[in-house]
């Protein structure tokens, strides 16, 4: 199985950001290395996830999961970095 790293920060309120994109990616790479996981690609996005279909890179990940014959997992720093709305959350749950 290959893994996709997905880091996201909201572009709305910079003062509420918990961890930078670079820090999220570093933490995820450290985890993947410790577990011996194969990282296929890394996506970083600065977009709000409140509304569905608002994140071009997230949409790329969805298309990859839908169309690839390979098995993929997704690693994110926190689950709310992956999705904050029920439509995108449902897509991910269905595909994984």
Q: Which pLDDT value is given to residue 4?
A: 96
Dihedral of the alpha carbons of 67, 68, 72, 75, in degrees to the nearest 10:
-50
pTM of the model: 0.82
- For the chain, list the domains and their CATH numbers: 2-11+18-95 (3.40.50.1390)
- Dist. CA 69–CA 12, nearest whole Å: 36
pLDDT for 71 equals 92
The 10s digit of each residue's pLDDT in 33-76 is 999 999 999 999 988 777 777 889 989 999 998 899 999 999 99
Residue-level pLDDT at 11: 66
The DSSP bridge partners found for residue 74 are: 4
pLDDT tens column, 12-36: 556 555 688 999 999 999 999 999 9
């Amino acid at each position: 199985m290959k893994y996709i790293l997905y880091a996201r920060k909201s572009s709305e309120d910079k003062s509420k950001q918990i961890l930078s994109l670079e820090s999220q990616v570093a933490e995820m790479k450290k985890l993947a290395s410790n577990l011996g996981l194969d990282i296929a690609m890394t996506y970083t996005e600065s977009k709000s996830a409140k509304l569905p279909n608002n994140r071009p890179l997230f949409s790329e990940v969805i298309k990859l999961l839908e169309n690839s014959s390979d098995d993929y997992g997704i690693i994110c720093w926190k689950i709310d970095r992956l999705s904050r709305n029920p439509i995108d959350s449902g897509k991910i749950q269905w595909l994984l």
